[in-house]
Amino acid sequence: MKPTLLVLAAGIGSRYGGLKQIDPVGPNGEIIIDYSLYDAIRAGFEKVVFIIREDLLEAFREKFDPLKDKIEVLYAFQQMELPEGYPSTVERAKPWGTGHAVLAARDYINDPFAVINADDYYGPEAYTSSIEFIKNINTIGSPLPFALVGYEIEKTLSDFGTVSRGIGVTNGKDELVSIKEHHKVFKRDGKIFHNTDGKEEEVTSNNVSMNFWIFLPEIFPELEKQFRTFVGQNTSSPKSEFLIPFAVDNLIQESKCLTKVIRTDARWFGITYKEDKPLVENAIRELIDKKVYPTPLW
């Protein structure tokens, strides 16, 4: 078994205004993915697959091919154009979402794998906890055993605008009962709200997905089936997105998977808006000062 890290890095970053995936935040030009890979390698991940746009391949190879002596490195492309056999659809300005991005890696992954966003910092604990889960994942049995590293919602918000978050409901065993994507999430007067459907509502759950998931390869045929249905239902919706929480929630409701929430109070940070970058740079410097990371990193 070769534990694999799948890094979602094909997003355009429209709110950020540039290629935030490869924007330096460390003192020696390190980017957020560098710190994610460092944590993943020392936790025990042996392979990384980057999901990128094809036009980013040269930049990513220049950046990450030198790490091939530390971890196997592969690249896969998330295409806006769909393969033959899918329903016809309108032209799109961006890819089909995170669920489709995971599906783009189906020919590159044969072992249990974790999924992360390229522009999010999750902390070392998330990777060590994931490896522990992966070590036992094939002994858990059916339904399909998955996991989500869950963060405290207040620690995942931006001071500079609203965000989207997958917010889950759990049972007494820390298993997801449901998870839904909430949009325009923000904090006001000590409370957290969302405005997903044009109506402002308070968020009461504290089980938040930052897209750190653990899956078996058996998820790929399930994603394929769901994505075909999704495309057929959204041929006239050029901005619709097939998201991981949507796909996992469908599997939960069909009793096809059991998704454990691995809770963490670790510090999360990421770059959604340009104004977030100085905060991330300061956070990295603090971690270096605390000897969490060497400098230079590699």
The CATH number, out of the four listed (2.40.110.20, 3.30.110.30, 3.90.550.10, 3.40.50.970), of the domain defined by the range 4-148+209-249+265-289: 3.90.550.10
Q: Are 156 and 269 in contact (CB under 8 A)?
A: no
**How many beta carbons lie within 10 A of that of residue 56, not counting itself?**
18
In order of 7, 30, 67, 125, 138, the CA distances from 47 in angstroms are: 11, 20, 11, 19, 18
Mean pLDDT of 164-191: 90
Tokens of 195: 């405005």
Comparing CA positions, the residue from 67, 69, 75, 70 lying closest to residue 9 is 75
Q: What is the pLDDT of residues 197-209, one digit of tens each?
A: 888 988 887 778 8
**Is residue 17 very low, low, confident or very high in pLDDT (cuts 50, 70, 90)?**
very low
What does DSSP assign to residue 104?
A: T
Q: What is the pLDDT of residues 119-129, one digit of tens each?
A: 899 999 999 99
pLDDT at 13 over 60: no
Q: Are strands 176-188 and 163-170 parallel, antiparallel or unpaired?
A: antiparallel
Mean pLDDT of 163-188: 91
Which of 108-122, 128-142, 193-207, 254-268 reaches the highest mean pLDDT? 108-122
Residues 6+ apart with CB under 8 A from 51: 6, 7, 8, 9, 10, 76, 77, 78, 101, 102, 104, 105
- Residue 95: the pLDDT is 81
H helices present in 56-167, as ranges: 57-64, 98-103, 124-136
User: Residue type at 88?
Assistant: S
Tokens of 215: 């899956």
Q: Are strands 269-270 and 207-215 parallel, antiparallel or unpaired?
A: unpaired
- Residue 22: the pLDDT is 65
**Is residue 21 very low, low, confident or very high in pLDDT (cuts 50, 70, 90)?**
low
Q: What is the pLDDT of residues 28-79, one digit of tens each?
A: 999 999 999 999 999 999 999 999 989 889 989 999 999 999 999 999 999 8
Mean pLDDT of 96-109: 95
d(CA 261, CA 148): 5
Domain assignments of the chain as residue spans, ordered by start: 4-148+209-249+265-289
d(CA 289, CA 26): 12
Provide the mean pLDDT of the chain. 89
Q: Tell me the pTM.
A: 0.91
Q: What is the pLDDT of residues 142-151, one digit of tens each?
A: 789 999 999 9
Tokens of 107: 């020919």
Angle at 146 between CA 254 and CA 272, to 5 degrees: 105
Number of H helices, E strands in the chain: 7, 13
In DSSP notation, 172-218 reads TTSBEEEEEEEEEEEEETTEEEE-TTSS-EE----EEEEEEEEE-TT
